Structure formats: C-alpha cells, structure tokens
Amino acid sequence: MLWEIYTKAQQRIYSIVRKNNPMVYDHKEASKKIDRCWDTLNAILVSTITPEHPRMPCSKERILKTLAEAVIQYTGKKPTVINCAPYDTRFENIIYTQLAAELAEHGNELHPEIRTAINDLINPKTEYDTGPDHASTTCRVYTIVREGIGIPMSFGPTFSPPYDWVMQAKQKAESLSAEQRKDIEGIAKILREIWQK
C-alpha cells in the first residue's frame, strides 16, 4: 500500500516537472523514437532484397550515403549523387546537411513518421571513445547496420543478410500503414537501383 502511494506520488511529481520543464528526458518517447528508426531502416533495407538481388553492401558508409541519395531522389524526383568520400572527416555531416535541406524543401512528400525516422537515422552525433582527442562521428544508421543486421567481417563488397533478420524485418514492414509502406518501397526501389550501378 505504501509502495503504491509512493509510486503514484513519484509519477505525479514527474508529470508536473515535465510539464514545467520540457528539458526533462522522456525515456518512453526516446524508446519510441529508436524503435521507429530501427523499424524504418530495416523495412527499407529488407525491401531492397529480391530473389534476383539478395545481397546488400557491407560498408555502413555506403549504406548511409546511398540511403540519403535514395531519399533525396524519391522526394525531389531528381537523381542525386552526394559528392563526398567516407574518409572525409565531415562525411556524415555533409550527407546530413544535403538530406536536411531536401527534407526542408520536399519533406511533405514523405509520411511524417518516415520523414522523422529518416532524419533521426542520418543525423550525425559525435562520440568520444577515449577522450576528446579521439572523437568520431556516427549516426543511428551505423548502429542499426552493425548491431541489428550484423554485417559480417567480409572481404567482399556485399553480403547476404541473415535469414532471421530478413523474416523479422519483413514482418515489421508488413505491420506499417499503406502510406508508410508506399514510401518505404519507393525509397527501397531507388536504393536497389543505386546499389546495382
């Protein structure tokens, strides 16, 4: 009984603080955002896989760059090549800047949740591995590709994703709304064409 009173009081205090201070971190909202990113990227990537083309790039940088190019082409209806190389120290920032400009101009072409997820996926952040002298730039695309799909250590430029991942990603993709699937499939079609070049 005392525990229930304490829990309710804690929830009430949290809601008052959150209402008065929007800077309070909302774990539930952050978790939803991360799930939306995972589901969106996995749905796009699994939609690129066909019986004729069952492989995808091993390079997370190539996936990031071509994903941004596909989104820009899908929303702007014009072929786009982002001119930067993975070894450029501003690689992720250059890609995000061009994508953000396109989403600002033509972002209404995408379903709002897909647009938000893609923006969150490609938005770069700086990580400090062992201190400020060893900073690296990363984004959620890298995390999902590395941890979600599990790209193998490979000497080839492409790989076939694991069967379990394909089946789970297809299930998630099918659970999206028709509008979301339309955008996912449109981006995936362009992405597949870029990878085949």
pLDDT at 50 over 60: yes
Domain positions in the chain are 46-196
Quote the percentage of the chain above a pLDDT of 70.
Answer: 80
Q: What is the pLDDT of residue 153?
A: 66
Q: What is the pLDDT of residues 69-97, one digit of tens each?
A: 999 999 988 888 888 888 888 899 999 99
Strands (E), the chain: 56-57, 125-128, 135-138, 158-159
**What is the C-alpha separation between 23 and 133, in angstroms, rounded?**
29
Extract long-range pairs of 175-180: CB within 8 Å, 24+ residues apart. 176/39, 176/43, 177/111, 179/111, 180/111, 180/113, 180/114
Task: Give the lowest-confidence range in 13-27, 30-44, 121-135.
Answer: 13-27
Q: Is the pTM of this model over 0.85?
A: no
3-state secondary structure 97-113: HHHHHHHHHHHHHCCHH
Q: What is the pLDDT of residue 130?
A: 66
Q: What is the pLDDT of residue 156?
A: 77
Q: What is the pLDDT of residues 146-193, one digit of tens each?
A: 887 777 666 678 888 888 889 999 998 999 999 999 999 999 999 999
Q: How many residues does the chain have?
A: 197
